[in-house]
Amino acid sequence: MGTKAPKSGYKPPPEMQRAMQMRLSMVSSNLLAEPFRGVPPSQPVTAYFTIGGWKQVWRRFLAHAKSLYTLAKTKKAIPGFSKDQFKGEALTLYKQVCGLLAAGDKTELRQLVTPAVFSDVKRQLKQREDGGWARVHWEITQEPTARELTVMQGRLIMIDPKDDTTGFSQLTVRVPSKQRFAAFNAVGKLVAGSLEQEIDVEDYWVFEHSMKPAATNRWRLAGRLSILPHAVEQRQQPAGAQQQGSDAAAQQQQQQQQQQKQQPAAEGAITARMGHIAEQQQQQQHSGKPARRRATAGRGRR
């Protein structure tokens, strides 16, 4: 007696249906939405009399509106969220990640960063080992307060625009501090940095949180950004030194587009090369002037 195949309308019991269901939960988008590129320079008064100048004003207004919208959505989706509370969490996460990077603890780092960042962390730690760095000393000598952190930008990544729970909130934070770094080889010889010298550090980190309500969701490091040199230089210039005339805004926009094309994609969301701090320390020794390190990371996934 043969076994009959079930009819097309057959449905398994509810217990079997629950067991057969596959639940997918995205930990991260593995992308960075419109990475922050630095504070734009102030516009000359004459720019408001040009079409290019008003286009710049509109772009800046939209960027600010996006940040406000992101903060509003984040507050609605994440219970207990506030900017002050977030800054405290961001500072704690910043110190944890930096300490674990120095210690080379990949197990703990996996829980604090996105998968895209973790892939680059493993690559950079392998390069550090190949370069003869057996031990790394890192300490933050002047820790900022939570109020000294600045939320520079907010952006949303929505997997399904009709479902807010599929989205991710990304907040870019400026973290100023003073740090000390030194690297030693297997025999204990100093190969990079200095145990005595401290340097000014200004990091721009992107923290990401899922909009889906779940107890396991938390803020994670999604990227360390490299601020464009032209954006920093123009920000430091006095207003009188900027270009004047009717074509000032248009020329500035053209230069920015040209430099953005030349900039590499900087994939990977983090470069854990603490040797960059050592380079800054060497520059300070030769010049006697404090050097400010800019974070050297990039975007998310390829």
Q: How many CA atoms, within 13 angstroms, populate the side-chain half-sphere of residue 111? A: 7
Q: Which domains does the chain have, with CATH numbers?
A: 44-235+266-294 (3.10.450.240)
Dmax over CA atoms of the chain, in Å, equals: 96
What's the Cα-to-Cα distance from 32 to each of 29, 160, 222, 267, 272, rounded to whole Å? 8, 16, 7, 10, 18
What's the Cα-to-Cα distance from 28 to each of 37, 118, 142, 283, rounded to whole Å? 22, 12, 32, 38
How do residues 120-153 score in pLDDT, each as one tens digit? 899 989 988 888 888 999 999 999 999 999 999 9
The dihedral formed by the CA atoms of 154, 231, 292 and 88, expressed in degrees to the nearest 10:
-10
> SS3 for 209?
strand
Amino acid at 101: L
The average pLDDT across 80-88 equals 94
The average pLDDT across 102-119 equals 92
Identify which of 214, 177, 224, 207 has the alpha carbon closest to the alpha carbon of residue 85.
207
Identify which of 200, 144, 145, 203 has the alpha carbon closest to the alpha carbon of residue 172.
203
Q: What is the pLDDT of residue 261?
A: 44
Q: Answer positive or negative: Cα dihedral of 258, 264, 265, 268.
A: negative
How do residues 210-268 score in pLDDT, each as one tens digit? 998 888 889 999 999 987 554 444 444 444 444 443 344 445 455 555 544 443 333 33
CB proximity list for 148: less than 8 A, separation 6 or greater: 176
Sorting pLDDT into bands at 50, 70 and 90, what band is 98?
Answer: very high
Share of the chain above pLDDT 70, in %: 67
Q: What is the DSSP string of 27-90?
A: S-----SS----PPPPPPGGGGGSHHHHHHHHHHHHHHHHHHHHHHHHHHHSTT--HHHHHHHH
Amino acid at 302: R
> SS3 for 260?
helix
CB proximity list for 254: less than 8 A, separation 6 or greater: none
How do residues 182-199 score in pLDDT, each as one tens digit? 999 988 899 888 888 999
Place of tokens 């922050």: 36
Say how many C-beta atoms besides its own lie within 10 A of residue 32's C-beta. Answer: 26
The pTM of the full predicted model, rounded to 2 decimals, is 0.70
